[in-house]
Structure 1
Amino acid sequence: MVRTAINLYSVRELDLPMAEILERCAAAGYDGVQFSGGFGGRSAEELADHLDDLDLAVTASHVDVDDLESDPARVVDFHETIGADGAVVPWLGPEQFESRAATLETADRVDGMAADLLDYGFALHYHNHDHEFAAFDDTTGFEVFADHTDALLEPDVGWIETAGHDPVEIVERYGERVEIVHMKDMDDGEFCEIGDGDVDMQACADAAREVDAEWLVYEHDEPEDPAASIDAGAEFLAGL
C-alpha cells in the first residue's frame, strides 16, 4: 500500500521549530516526511525520538550532492538514525544534461555516489526537474541518464509535465526503479497548489500504485501559505 509524505522543502519558509513542523505534518494525516537538507538544529537522535512519538515514518531524504560525495558514511549514519533507508540526489544542473556526452558523465558520477552508499546498504535515488529532458539526437537527457545509471528514480510529475512529457508514461516505464513519486502540480510551468494545475494527479497516483511505489510525496516549491499547504497536500493525497 502506497503511503503519503510531505517533502519538508515545501515548508522551509515556515518560521517554526522543527518539532512543531513535524507535529503539524502528523496532525494533517501524512504517514511520513521527507527531509530536504534542513533539520532545525536537531540531532539525529532527537529527531528519531520525536518522529517515533508522532508515529511518522521517513522516506529517503534529499541530500546535498557535496555531502554525498565528500562523506557518505556520515550521510548514512545520520539518515539511518532518523529512519531513512536511502538518499536522493535533489538537483544537478542543466549543463550536466545538455548533450549525450555530458549526460553519460553525469550518469557515471551518480553511479559513483550510488556505489559509495551501497557499501553501507543505502540506496540512492535521483530526483528530476525539467532540464533533464533536453532533447538531442532521437532521445532526451533523462532517457540517456536513466538507461545508463543503476540509481533508483524519483519522478517529479510536475517537472515532467512542464518538460512536455507524460508523467504517467515515465512512472510506468521505469516502475521497477521507482519507490517514491513526487506529487507536484504545475500550472503552465508555474508552481501551484496540488489539484489546481495541469497534472493528472489521479492518473499519477494510479500509476504509482500499479508499479508498487512505496510513497506519494507532496511538494510545493513556493506555497503562498506554507502552513495551510501542509493540510492541503495531505487532504488531496488522501483523496486519491
Structure 2
Amino acid sequence: MDFGIQLYSLRTLDESTEALVERAADAGFDGVEFAGVDDDERTRMALSNTGLAAPSAHVDIETLESDLDAVCERYGSLGVETLVVPYLPPEAFADADTVDETAHRLDDLTARCDDRGVRLLYHNHDHELQMVDGEPALDRLADESGVGFELDLAWLLAAGYDPTEYLDRYADRTPIVHLKDVVLDADAERGGRPVGLGDGELAIDACLDAARDGFVEWVVVEHDFPDDPAEFCRASGEYVATRRSEN
C-alpha cells in the first residue's frame, strides 16, 4: 500500500504541475493524483526525475464521456492507469430512479474505459449517503452498478457512517481511498470541516488497518481548503511516514 497526495490540495500555491510533483516528492510521498496537468512533458520529466508514480487522475464525467480517447492518451503517457469521476451533483442521487440512471451512466463509462485498458472509479462526497428507499444512495449505486470506488473516508464520517465498515463492505472494489481528517459539525446530523491529518475525528489508524486488510493499493491524502498548502503537504508527508512501518 502506497501513499500519495491529491494535487488539488495544493492548487492555490500557483505553482506548475512539475513543481507540485517535486514538492510531493520532497515531502516523502510515493505518488500524486492529478486534478489537471499544465504541461505534459515537463510533468512527465518530473515524475521520472523524482521516481514518483501517478496512479490516478480526477477528470470530470463530461470530459470522460465526450473525449475519452484523448483523456486516456494524455494521462496514459504519464503512467496513469485509473481515472476517477470526482463528483456528481446531489440531483444524481435524489431518489431511486435517478440513482439507477447514475449507475447505468457509470457502467457505460466503465465499459468504455475497460475497452481501453483503463480502470474507472467514482469518488464520493457526503450527499451520496442520503437515504433512498431505505438505504444510502451509495449502497444502491453499488448494487445497481459495477463501478469501483475511491472512498473518501472523511466524507463518509461526515455523513454519519463508519468509514471502516465501508472499507470492509467494498474492499474488492476500492483500490484507492482518500485520506483526510475532519472536525464534525456538532450542530448538524451531517457535515464537517476538513483539517490536517491527526487534528480531526477520523480514526485514521483504524481506517489504515482496514485498508491494509482490503484491496486498497493507494491511500491518497487530501485537504479541500488548507490554509497553508505547502505546510499541509510537508506535515502530511511526515504524518504518513510514521505509518509506513505498519504497512
Per the TM alignment, residue 229 of structure 1 is displaced from its structure 2 partner at its CA by: 0.5
- Distance in 2 (alpha carbons) for counterparts of 1:17 and 1:49: 13
The residue number in structure 2 matching 1:132 is 128
- Distance in 2 (alpha carbons) for counterparts of 1:80 and 1:18: 16
Q: TM-score, normalised by structure 2?
A: 0.93
Identity of aligned residues (%): 40
The residue number in structure 2 matching 1:221 is 224
- Distance in 1 (alpha carbons) for counterparts of 2:224 and 2:233: 12
The residue number in structure 2 matching 1:160 is 156
Find 1:147's aligned residue among 143, 147, 161.
Answer: 143
The residue number in structure 2 matching 1:42 is 39
- Distance in 1 (alpha carbons) for counterparts of 2:172 and 2:17: 34
The number of equivalent residue pairs is 236
Gaps in structure 2 of 5+ consecutive residues: 185-191
Question: Deviation digits for residues 172-194 of structure 1, max 9, x if unmatched?
Answer: 11000111010011101111111
In terms of mean alpha carbon deviation, does 46-55 or 71-80 score higher?
A: 46-55
Which secondary structure does the structure 2 equivalent of 1:60 belong to?
strand
Find 2:118's aligned residue among 122, 126, 150.
Answer: 122
Q: Which amino acid aligns with 2:39?
A: R
Per the TM alignment, residue 152 of structure 1 is displaced from its structure 2 partner at its CA by: 1.0
Per the TM alignment, residue 16 of structure 1 is displaced from its structure 2 partner at its CA by: 1.8
Which secondary structure does the structure 1 equivalent of 2:13 belong to?
coil
- Distance in 1 (alpha carbons) for counterparts of 2:241 and 2:164: 19
Per the TM alignment, residue 227 of structure 1 is displaced from its structure 2 partner at its CA by: 0.5
Q: TM-score, normalised by structure 1?
A: 0.96
- Distance in 1 (alpha carbons) for counterparts of 2:220 and 2:17: 19
Which secondary structure does the structure 2 equivalent of 1:117 belong to?
helix
Which secondary structure does the structure 2 equivalent of 1:25 belong to?
helix
The residue number in structure 2 matching 1:239 is 242
In terms of mean alpha carbon deviation, does 15-24 or 117-126 score higher?
A: 15-24
The residue number in structure 2 matching 1:205 is 208
Please state if 1:6 is matched with 2:5: yes
Gaps in structure 1 of 5+ consecutive residues: none
Runs (4 or more) in structure 1 with deviation over 3 Å come to none
- Distance in 2 (alpha carbons) for counterparts of 1:230 and 1:239: 15
Question: Deviation digits for residues 108-144 of structure 1, max 9, x if unmatched?
Answer: 1111111111111111000000000011222110000
Per the TM alignment, residue 201 of structure 1 is displaced from its structure 2 partner at its CA by: 0.6
Which secondary structure does the structure 2 equivalent of 1:5 belong to?
strand
What is the RMSD computed on CA atoms of the aligned residues?
1.0
